[in-house]
Structure 1
């Protein structure tokens, strides 16, 4: 889904105001779910990495980073994901050797490279299967708005360049729920990127917990030296963010092409990209998330750019998961 322009405007405008009654219904349903559904407590820690906006904010890189840190400490974390965009209903364990993105979603395939990953709308069922399979910790790559499973700690990820948009709940704006209600369930806020959206500082001013700026760092592949001529394409929440990252690597972008988030690349899409590469003489470049959705034969012709997180030097990221939730006074 392409976000309408008025979602990102500081002044909500007339369209947002017209949609406001529907937003009240959306918010009310969400509030009722959290009020009346009793979350199931697991015998092992459950960490939720979530966001409050529709579209990508950077949850998956954070989930991968924290899982790798836990593994280095000898833990056996498992991921839980809904499997958005996949046809499989779950709960089931993702097998990267046999499952495709069309079956289990693109993000679960990325997660499964690091640790066992379970998909399914029923997070409790997935959690129980993961614990039975030996998980010592559970990391929810989504599910912040899902009240079925008790979270030991929740980190709220915010795209610094976008923030909370116009501050309105869907469909009047990009929010899944009011910011205040999300922050009440949050242990720490992670602002990803080097930019700060207007009003973001104000929107977070009442939050008593840690607010950290985390930089996203692209790891240059050997196939992309400085000045390499590239044809970049991406089907993520904000493709322009990926293209800016490539320019930051001093790559020569001959052409950029945007696709919808979680786009299922068709044979026509692939044929067009191949033709562009041949005509312009550039290397096809995309994100790791997009790469897992490509057919294997075409994927071998494309360079994917991995990203890592650069945390503040004074911060132990895992400590954010073990400290209690702060309360406003």
Structure 2
């Protein structure tokens, strides 16, 4: 947001801060298992960080169950073979490939359903991982992991509507147990210089890396399309792999990836002599029968050191 606009809107920040404080002051339900909330304070997608956390928990012998807020009639266990993007959303479909995943309109109802369903099968979830629901007061979290894009940081540091934050930064950091920052090494240093005084002691650095699949991208002419919050990272990665990006198309947030859109992009790619390519998050939005026509660039989060999370988990007695 531009400086002038932020300055004009800054007097309204007190309303956002007050509303958030009142909402979060409500007592939430305490689950019988640990609850880990993974979210982004500035509205960026928290999923890559959440998936890395899930794999880390599984590596410690825990059995996390994922819970994501979604406007559904009743809590629903996600089935990758049965459900579509329209049914449960892209985050839930991707998370379901890593761990049992549920979506619910009411998180409290969802959490109770998850537990009763799991216990009914003679199992016990090691923990519940809430993705993107840190400001929902219905359930108390034992650990709050904030995902931060090192390139963007916390924007101008102001809360809405003058900035990207849901509450004043100092207030938010009082609830955060761990900051997981994502970016290249130089960006981590810039982030630390700008925000190191306000982030919690526990900070985990990570970066997105291409998942090796044997695909040789060198010399491949592509038309790249993505609705990711920072599509320029996706395009830059393709170029680093040696692909020739003939055209890059940015989709607006929440824009439906319809058959008509893919047909138009396919025709444009044909005229350019290019192959369609997109991200995993965008691929799950494609009509099923068209997915085979689009290459996917899979990426995963590589964490430098999980020591900060290990320390917090040890403190809570989570094996």
| TM-score (norm. length: structure 2) | 0.89
**Matched ranges for 1:38-77 at <5 A:** 38-56=27-45, 59-77=46-64
Corresponding residue of 1:169: 159
Corresponding residue of 1:202: 194
Q: Aligned with 1:300: secondary structure? A: helix
Corresponding residue of 1:78: 65
Q: How far is 1:197 from its partner?
A: 8.8
Q: How far is 1:208 from its partner?
A: 4.2
Q: Aligned with 2:137: secondary structure? A: coil
More divergent stretch after superposition (71-80 vs 190-199): 190-199
Corresponding residue of 1:193: 183
Q: How far is 1:21 from its partner?
A: 3.0
Q: Tell me, yes or no, if the aligned pair for 1:229 and 1:282 is still in contact at 8 Å.
A: yes
Q: How far is 1:246 from its partner?
A: 1.6
Q: Tell me, yes or no, if the aligned pair for 1:163 and 1:197 is still in contact at 8 Å.
A: no
Q: How far is 1:142 from its partner?
A: 1.2
Counterpart of 1:271 (choices 260, 263, 266) is: 263
Q: How far is 1:236 from its partner?
A: 1.5
Q: Aligned with 2:295: secondary structure? A: strand
Counterpart of 1:126 (choices 110, 135, 138) is: 110
**Matched ranges for 1:272-291 at <5 A:** 272-291=264-283
The answer to whether the aligner puts 1:154 opposite 2:144 as a matched pair is yes
| TM-score (norm. length: structure 1) | 0.87
- Structure 2 residues without counterparts, runs of 5 or longer: 119-124
1-structure distance, mates of 2:11, 2:35: 35
**Matched ranges for 1:176-325 at <5 A:** 176-194=166-184, 195-196=187-188, 201-312=193-304, 314-316=305-307, 318-319=309-310, 321-322=312-313
Higher normalized helix content (fraction of residues): 2
Q: Tell me, yes or no, if the aligned pair for 2:173 and 2:198 is still in contact at 8 Å.
A: no
2-structure distance, mates of 1:127, 1:324: 23
Counterpart of 1:96 (choices 59, 80, 83) is: 80
2-structure distance, mates of 1:73, 1:122: 29
Query: Any idea what the Cα deviations from partners look like across 1:89-140, whole Å, max 9, x if unmatched?
Result: 4422122222111121111110011111111232221111112222221111
